Amino acid sequence: MAEKDSIFTRALHGRILTGKMFTRYWFQLVVILAMLLVYITNVFSVRSKMEHIARLNDRLAVVQTESIRVRGDYMSRIRESEMRHMLDSLHIPLAVQQQPPFHARSKSR
């Protein structure tokens, strides 16, 4: 009586995937291989585009923050120049203090 070989032994000796099977189903195997390659290509493409989108989102956040900072700086300069213009037109002798205010403290406190 012949011994039953394991699947590993049959695969190792070429009894599961024979040359006859490859010649019989060559077209289907080529189609499956092409579909597998297209799938791998799509997965790589999607992942690389998602990484690019993430980098662009980070850059957008930085640019938006910088824009807010620049806008605030611009608005403060506009307000100051408008106040100077109004004071000059009303002939009010006020100016921006160059030194911070001095706080005097009494010894009783």
- Rounded Cα distance, 101 and 74, in Å: 25
**Residue 1, C-beta contacts closer than 8 angstroms, at least 6 positions apart:** none
Give the range among 23-27, 47-51, 78-82 with minimum mean pLDDT: 78-82
Predicted TM-score of the model (pTM): 0.53
- The amino acid at residue 97 is Q
pLDDT one-digit tens code per residue, 44-77: 999 999 999 999 999 999 999 999 999 888 888 7
For 89, counting Cβ atoms within 10 Å of its Cβ (0-12 exposed, 13-18 middle, 19+ buried), the class is exposed
Q: Where residue 1 falls among pLDDT bands split at 50, 70, 90?
A: very low
How much is the pLDDT for 19? 79
